[in-house]
Every structure is written in C-alpha cells, then in structure tokens.
A and B are shown apart, each in its own frame.
Chain A
Amino acid sequence: MNAMSNPFFTRSGWLYLAILAAILLVVFPLALDPFRLNLVGKYLTYAFVALGLVLCWGHGGILSLGQGVFFGLGGYCMAMFLKLEASSPENTAIQSTPGIPDFMDWNQVTALPWWWEPFRSLPFALFAVIAVPVIFAFIIGFAMFTRRVGGVYFAIITQAVAAILTILIIGQQGYTGGVNGITDLRTLLGWDIRTNDAKTILYFVCAGLLIASLLLSQAVHVSKFGRLLIAIRDKEDRVRFSGYNVAAFKIFVFCFAAALAAIGGAMFTLQVGFMSPSFVGIVPSIEMVIFAAVGGRLSLFGAIYGTLLVNYAKTSFSESFPELWLFAMGGLFIAVVMAFPDGIAGLYNRYLAPHIARLLGTMRKRDAEGHSLANPAE
C-alpha cells in the first residue's frame, strides 16, 4: 500500500536530502576559506539551471540548448538594480552625466533609458528577475510548442535565441554594458556585497534557495504533472488523445526551468559581482546541459552533484591546461552520453543504491523491480 501513496520522498530520498543539506550548509562552509566558498557558491548558481533541465529535458524530453538566456536575463535584472545603486551621483561625479551607469557615460548616453528606470526599486528588480525570463520563455514556448516544434529543431532554435541575445547585448553596449557586461557592482541597499562576510552570507542564501528549488522541483516531479512529463516524452500522442493539451504542459515546464535558471543567474550576479554576455551564449548554455547530463539527467540530486563536479574539474583543469578544457568537456559529454546515459545518478542507482538500501533495512521491492526508471530522483 505504501507504493500507492506516492510519498514526497522515499526514506532514502530524505536521507539524500539530509546529506546534501549537510554538505552545502555545514561541510563546505567549515572546510573552505571564503574565496573557495564563494567559488562553490558560483558553481551552485549553475545547479539551478541543471535542476530545471532535469524536469524539462530529462523527464519531459525537451532539450533546450539555450538555458543561458534565462540565466543571463535573471542575472542582468539583478545587475541593473545593483548598477543603479552603485551609480549614485556622488559615486559618478566625475562623469559627464553623473548618476547614470559608467558604461552609458562612456558611450555618450546622456540620460537613463526609460526601461532602466524601474530597476531603481529592489522589489521590482526581484520581480523582474523571475518575470522577464519567464515571459520570454513563455513566448518561445508558445510559438514553438503550439506549432509542434520539438526535438532537434527546438534545440537548434534555442541555440539561435542564445546567439541572437548575445549579439544584441554586445551590440547595444550603451544600454547593456556590451561585451564587458555590467561590472563594478558594490552594494545591495547599502550593504557592501564585496566583503568576505557578505560573500559568506550570500553563499548561504544561494545554498538555501537551491535546496528550496530542489524541493519545489521534487514537488512537481511527484505530482501527476511529473508523471505526465514522462508520459509526454514517451508517447506524446497518447497524452494528447487522453484529453491533455500537451503544448500547455511543455510551455509550463519550459517556463519553470527558465525561472530556476533565472534565480541562479541573479545569485551569480550577487556572488560574483558582475554579469556579462559570456554567460548567455551558446557555449555556456551547452555547458549547463553537460552539467545535468553528467549528474544524470533524470535525477534532481544528480544534477546538483554533476554541476559541482564538472565545475570543480573545470577550475582545476583549466588552471593548468586552459586550452584543453573545451576538448576535455566535449570528450566527457560524449563519454557520458555513450556509456552512462543516466550519468552519476544512474551509476549510483545501479551499483551503490542497492547496498545502501540494504544497510538502511529498507529493501523496497519497487526499486528492485526497476521502478527507479520513473522515479530516479529517489
């Protein structure tokens, strides 16, 4: 009967959550110096994107190679607020037009564009962090999914969107900061975000939001919506001819993934202190898919560990062989796709989970029967 009540987490699921929370909230803060902790905090911002990709791509079968767009839009919305706060007339007295962001002044812009104006308000900026990317995702999703564009075609279109947005941001440098992005961010409502203390606090905010996002994603996953996603990936027509408007479900999950990516982007801006087009384009978008793939595209926990691992490898590797990193990354992706399509989580479920389950004394027959296919997050 237990199998029928569809728990939020299985018993081992709660254990995994406790382990993850302990690693993020206790082990890392104790073991790492503020600089390294900040670096991990930056990695974690990508994990938000990977969580969204698990639902959207892993479960729903919708591969987006443009998640950097939403990460970037969220990050830019945050950066616009911080930049305006850093550009007070006193701070910018030496400019020919004081009170506007420095890059505008350098580009002979003499007044703040009207669409920058609302970003003086923190509540508006926080709202925009989610709303702008979600509205954008809705437009793309609506245009594509109601026309039944899917699979490779959808992936290519998301790539194109990422490329176009990058070009647009770089081209409009008077309004966006161009290729350098929005830099030299200083304070949040007067609180200096550049100090070690602030960075440590922001790390905890980021880790806390990530765990909250994981729980929210799990709530979607265990709902009927989550099973419908798998059904849509499996037999889209059967879902449609069972009375569901498949496009609406795809649009929702795409917007959900965009919202998560946007939170990640905003946390990136806060922790790293700038946002630039290099986090919007094709390469970062593909990297984000690789994080999810390495962790296991079916597993929410896997996505977080995968992101941490790949980024750790990237940092260590590219310190010594920067020019080789892209090849290593490509090789890693091919290896994962060919040999371990379910990533680290798949390997874990296959080799370790049975032993852990025995240790826990919770031999769940359901898993042994292969149910982990549909509920891999557990």
Chain B
Amino acid sequence: MNAVSPQKDFLLSVEGLTVSFDGFKAVNDLSFYIDENEIRVIIGPNGAGKTTVLDLICGRTKATSGSIRFRDTELTSLKEHQIVHQGVGRKFQNPSIYEELTVFENLELSFPRGRNVFGALAFRRDAEVRDRVEEIAGMVFLHNQLHTPAAILSHGQKQWLEIGMLLIQDPTLLMLDEPVAGMSVGERLKTAELLHTIIKDRSVIVIEHDMKFVEDIAHRVTVMHQGKVLSDGSMTHVQNDPKVVEVYLGH
C-alpha cells in the first residue's frame, strides 16, 4: 500500500465524509476509523448526525463527498444490497421487522442464502436453515415465540428480533441504532448481555443515549456534534472532556 498513507489495517475507514441536504450539512467532513473486533459507541445530542452516518455507511444516503472504505472496498459506490454482501449489517432506530410474518419467517428471510430471484424461488427450508434459525432465536430470547406473528411481539422483543435478523447474516461489521431505546430495565440488562455475546469476532458500531449502557459495552466512544467529531477516546476521556460536558453530558 501507499507508504505515505497513515492508515493501518482498519476494518472501516471513514474519511472526509460530508452529506448536505439542500445546503444543510448533516455530516460535515467526518473522519473516524474502526478496528477489527472493536466496539465503538457513537453518542451525541439529538440531530447530531449519528443516524445519518449509519445511513451513509450502509448506502441508504449517498455521500456528497468523502470516502468509506471497508477493508479494501470503497462502499460509497456500491448499492445497498452489495454493501450487505460485503458484511455490513444495520439495525434501524425503530424496530424494522416484517410484522405479518412469524418470528421464524423473519429470521429465515434474513438467512444469507437464496438472495437472488431464482435462489429465492428454489430456496428449501432444510435442516441447516432450521437449526440456524433456532440457534439465533435462542440467542435473542425468542425461542418460545418462533411461530408467533412478529406484529404481536413487545417492543423490546421486536428490537431483539431485528438484532437476530442481523446476527443470522453473521456480519463483519454490525451497526445498531439505539438498540435499547424504549426497553424496560430488565430488557436493557438482557440486551447488554446479548451484546456481550454477539460482539465476539466482529466489529460493532452502536449509537446510544443511555450512558450506563455505553459505559458497560464501549471500547471507545466517539462524540458527535453538528455533523462533526467533538471528542473521541475512552469513556473516561470523553466524560471529562469539557467540550462534551458542555454540549451533551451537561444536561
């Protein structure tokens, strides 16, 4: 590789990323790097641009400028489903599941096989699929709900189901947007436990407001404000950063 380049082998390198919505820069010249097997938490006030960053990485929003490299692949030029095939999984802020299908069917559709039209027509529900669906359902506490329509799950269970739908794809980079929002205390504890088991062998980006939860899981924290990185480092570092206290943690 280029000797002048400062980059080592990061899993994800975001550099100079900018997106402008009619002149409003929701993300402004943002750069950050994620290591293999790193858990990164992004925090920041409402409207800081956190969700937009995930939208940019997964291809939902097209960047105005800048680059997003995932291993050796430039993601900004790929289509959404191609980015998924590279190994990037994304959970949405509001639980996004197929309400009219059962938990089993939700997980099955996320199983990474038969992803093109004819593959889907020829797809067979074999033992491999069944075992994997049951394994994942067990991890996300839904093994007793396999044949329940997803619509009647509780809010927390829906969040877990969506996490399960990502896990079954075994992504290299998992991006979670406020996974514990709207959960009860008990559900939060279980989710923290779930995150600890699923972070093995993969990198995770989590957006979260719940500071206790952040402290519990983060390796490193990035604080965003007005589309830029305000502070970056360990939890103790950012908690004691006066800029962060002023715009975010102070209130």
Which A residues form the contact surface with B (CB < 8 A)?
3-6, 220, 223-225, 227-228, 230-231, 234-235, 237-246, 248-249, 252, 366, 369-371, 373-374
Contacts and interface: CB of A to CB of B under 8 A. Distances in A.
B147 A228 contact: no
Interface stretch (B1-9, B104-112, B198-206, B236-244): B104-112
Contact of A227 (B89, B105, B112, B117): B105
A234 B121 contact: no
18 contacts: A3-B147, A223-B123, A224-B114, A225-B121, A225-B123, A227-B108, A230-B100, A234-B101, A238-B96, A238-B162, A240-B81, A241-B60, A241-B80, A242-B84, A244-B120, A246-B81, A249-B120, A373-B100
Kindly name the residue among A230, A235, A249 whose own CB sees the greatest number of chain B CB atoms within 10 A: A235
B121 A374 contact: no
B220 interface: no
A220 B118 CA distance: 11
A217 to B, nearest CB: 12
Contacts of B123: 223-225
Interface of B: 58, 60, 79-81, 84-85, 89-90, 92, 96-102, 104-105, 108-110, 112, 114-117, 120-123, 125, 130, 147-149, 162, 165, 169
Contacts of A237: 60, 92, 96
A5 B108 CA distance: 13
A3 B102 CA distance: 11
Given A4-B104, A224-B109, A242-B169, A248 B117 contact: yes
B100 A241 contact: no
B109 A234 contact: no
Contacts of B99: 234-235
Contacts of A243: 81, 84-85, 112, 115, 169
Kindly name the residue among A5, A224, A225, A240 whose own CB sees the greatest number of chain B CB atoms within 10 A: A224
B176 to A, nearest CB: 13
- The 6 A-B residue pairs whose C-beta atoms are closest, nearest first, are A243-B84, A224-B123, A225-B120, A231-B98, A238-B96, A224-B120
Given A225-B123, A238-B96, A241-B80, 18 more contacts: A4-B125, A224-B121, A227-B101, A227-B105, A231-B98, A231-B101, A234-B98, A234-B99, A238-B97, A238-B98, A241-B84, A245-B116, A248-B117, A249-B117, A369-B148, A369-B149, A371-B147, A374-B149
Kindly name the residue among B109, B114, B120 whose own CB sees the greatest number of chain A CB atoms within 10 A: B120
Contacts of A223: 120-123
Given A234-B98, A237-B60, A244-B115, A227 B125 contact: no
A248 to B, nearest CB: 5
Contact of A6 (B89, B90, B125, B165): B125
Contacts of B60: 237, 241
A223 to B, nearest CB: 5
Nearest to B149: A370
A272 B105 CA distance: 44
B98 A240 contact: no
Contact of A371 (B80, B102, B121): B102
Contacts of B102: 371, 374
Nearest to B101: A374
A373 B102 CA distance: 10
Contact of A245 (B81, B97, B108, B165): B81
Nearest to B146: A4
A252 B117 contact: yes
A266 B58 CA distance: 46
B165 to A, nearest CB: 7
Contact of B108 (A3, A224, A241, A371): A224
B187 to A, nearest CB: 21
A248 B82 CA distance: 13
B109 A228 contact: yes
A227 B100 CA distance: 10
Contact of A235 (B98, B105, B114, B120): B98
Contacts of A371: 102, 147, 149
Contacts of A4: 104, 125, 130
B167 to A, nearest CB: 12
Contact of B165 (A227, A242, A244, A370): A242
A247 B115 CA distance: 13
Contact of A225 (B84, B85, B96, B117): B117
Nearest to B120: A225
Nearest to B89: A241
Contacts of B130: 4
A374 B151 CA distance: 12
Contacts of A238: 92, 96-98, 162, 165
Contacts of B169: 242-243
Contacts of B121: 220, 223-225
A235 B109 CA distance: 12
A218 to B, nearest CB: 13
Nearest to A59: B100
Given A6-B125, A366-B147, A374-B101, A227 B109 contact: yes
